[in-house]
Amino acid sequence: MKLIVVGASHGGTEAVQTAIEQYPDSTIVWYEQANFRQMMGWSVEKLVAYRKKLTAQGVTLVDETRVVRLLAATHQLVIQAKEPATPQTVAYDKLILSPGSQARQLTVTGATLPGIVSLRGKGDLMWLREQARQNAQLQRIVVVGAGYIGLGAAEIFAQAHKTVTLIDVNEQPLHGYLDAEIAAPIAQTLRNHGIKLAMGQRVQRLLGEQHVTAVETDTATYAADLVVVAIGAVPQTQWLADTLALTSNGSVVTDAYQRTNLTDVLAIGDATQVNDGPTQQRITIALAGNARQQARNAVANLQLPTTPLAPTNGTSALPVFEYKLATTGLSEQRAHRLNRPIVAVTWTQPVTMNTDATVTTKLCYDPNTFEILGAQLVSTVDVTANINLVSVAIQAHFTIQQLATADFFFQPVFSTPTSFLKATAIAAVKQANQYRPA
Ligand X SMILES: Cc1cc2nc3c(=O)[nH]c(=O)nc-3n(C[C@H](O)[C@H](O)[C@H](O)COP(=O)(O)OP(=O)(O)OC[C@H]3O[C@@H](n4cnc5c(N)ncnc54)[C@H](O)[C@@H]3O)c2cc1C
Encoded one letter per residue, x for contact with ligand X by CB under 6 A and - for no contact, window 116-155 reads ---xxx---x-----------------------x------
State how far the Cα of 179 lies from the Cα of 170, in Å rounded to an integer. Answer: 12
Binding to ligand X (CB under 6 A) within 249-308 occurs at: 269-271, 286-289, 291
Residue in 4, 7, 373, 384 binding ligand X, rule: CB under 6 A = 7
Phi, psi for 384 (deg, rounded to 5): -60, -30
What are the residue ranges of helices labelled H in 23-121?
Answer: 36-40, 44-56
For 5, other C-beta atoms within 10 Å of its C-beta total 30
Q: How many residues bind ligand X (CB under 6 A)?
A: 32
Interhelix angle 10-22/288-300, nearest 10 degrees: 30
Q: Does 314 bind ligand X (CB under 6 A)?
A: no
Amino acid at 11: G
User: Least distance in Å: CB of 313 to ligand X?
Assistant: 13
Query: Is 62 a binder of ligand X (CB under 6 A)?
Result: no
Q: Under the criterion CB under 6 A, does residue 2 sit at the interface with ligand X?
A: no
Compute how many other C-beta atoms are within 10 angstroms of the C-beta atom of residue 222.
23
SS3 224: coil
Task: Tell me if 154 sits within 8 A of 166, measured CB to CB.
Answer: yes
Give Dmax over CA atoms of the chain in angstroms: 76
- Scanning 26-34, 242-250, 323-331, 430-438 for contacts with ligand X by CB under 6 A, the matching segment is 26-34
Distance CA 335, CA 315 (A): 16
Scanning 242-372, the segments in alpha helix (DSSP H) are 288-300, 332-337
Q: Is residue 315 a contact residue for ligand X (CB under 6 A)?
A: no
Give the C-alpha distances (Å, rounded to integers) separating 154 from 95, 149, 197, 373: 39, 9, 10, 31
Is residue 421 within the footprint of ligand X (CB under 6 A)?
no
| Shortest reach from residue 118's CB to ligand X, in Å | 8
User: With binding defined as CB under 6 A, does residue 92 bind ligand X?
Assistant: no
Asked if residue 71 lies in contact with residue 64, where contact means CB atoms within 8 angstroms, the answer is: no
Q: Which is nearer to ligand X, 270 or 332 (CB)?
A: 270
Q: Taking the complex as a whole, how short is the minimal distance between the CB of residue 11 and ligand X, in angstroms? A: 3
Among residues 4, 5, 11, 229, the one that binds ligand X under rule CB under 6 A: 11
Q: Which is nearer to ligand X, 220 or 310 (CB)?
A: 310
28, 29, 32, 175: residue in contact with ligand X (rule CB under 6 A): 32
Among positions 16, 30, 72, 101, the unique one binding ligand X when judged by CB under 6 A: 101
Q: What are the residues binding ligand X (CB under 6 A)? A: 6-12, 31-34, 66-67, 98-101, 119-121, 125, 149, 236, 239, 269-271, 286-289, 291
